[in-house]
Structure 1
Amino acid sequence: MKRHGLQIGIERIDNDFFLSLKVSGKLTHEDYQKITPLLDNALEGLEDPELVAYVDIRELEGWELRAAWDDFILGAKHRKAFKRVAIVGDQRWADVAGKVGSWFIAGEMEDFDDPAKALAWLSQDRD
């Protein structure tokens, strides 16, 4: 049995959202079929939502081609909603995810090897 997928947490504070994602294994199209409606529903009806996202990719093994496309579509759809994204994990995957993500995420994106530093960066300038 090979474990893979996305674990998602969404916390709402007024009009701001703290999104946490933990990625494991090799992501599939089916993984995105599950997560996309969750994010869409959380943001539905909000005017100019602001997301800060903590993405843990320490267990990421890669993406299927269709899943990579799903990731692009999801990011493009919610492009303006992302204020700040912290990626925690293996430097090689964090660099790739950060570069690709910066193409379709309007906000700031940083990669970290220390989860505490990532969370501190996400909480800067939050009122």
Structure 2
Amino acid sequence: MSAEHHGVSVGLERSNSGVLLSLHVRGKLTHEDYEAIVPMLESAIAGEENPKIDVFMNAVEMEGWEPRAAWDDLKLGLKHGRHFNRVAVVGSKRWLELMTRAGSLMIGGEARYFENEESAMAWLNIKKAA
């Protein structure tokens, strides 16, 4: 019997240039994941006149979205899409690359798919901790 692992690790950093949302996704994203992520993100941008959000998403272990989570993702994009500056998605699956391109149409900035973390971090101008 094997255990199914699922979850999302979330990091938020604020700077003068905006907010960096870091996600590491394992398994399928769920509605419960969005119930945790969205309030954190909204709290981070609260009070900002024109918030700017960059996203680093490690989705190498991601297997997709549950239907309700896909709806949550759409609602997040509709509500805050104009605030997203750059979204870097790291993965190894063709469907994820296609979803990244489609998602780019819903945000005010740009979303790109990468096959390695270093390229994604360089594009976002993130320095890796030593």
Q: TM-score, normalised by structure 2?
A: 0.88
**Aligned-pair distance for 1:99?**
2.5
Choose 91-100 or 107-116, whichever is displaced more.
91-100
* Contact 1:57–1:93 under 8 Å retained in 2: no
Runs of 4+ residues deviating >4 angstroms: none
Distance 2:96 2:89 in 1: 6
Name the counterpart of 1:20.
22
* Deviation sequence 1:35-81 (CA, Å, 0-9, x none): 11111111111111111111110010111111101011112211111
Name the counterpart of 1:98.
100
Aligned equivalent of 2:51, options 46, 49, 52:
49
Match of 1:62, SS state, is strand
Q: How many pairs align?
A: 124
RMSD of aligned alpha carbons: 1.5
Distance 2:8 2:52 in 1: 21
Distance 1:25 1:119 in 2: 22
Distance 1:26 1:37 in 2: 20
Unaligned 5+ residue runs, structure 1? none
Unaligned 5+ residue runs, structure 2? none
* Contact 1:9–1:19 under 8 Å retained in 2: yes
Name the counterpart of 1:115.
117
The residue type equivalent to 2:113 in the other structure is D
Match of 2:50, SS state, is coil
* Contact 2:101–2:112 under 8 Å retained in 1: no
- Please state if 1:59 is matched with 2:61: yes
Identity, % of aligned positions: 46
Name the counterpart of 1:69.
71
Q: TM-score, normalised by structure 1?
A: 0.89
Distance 1:103 1:69 in 2: 16
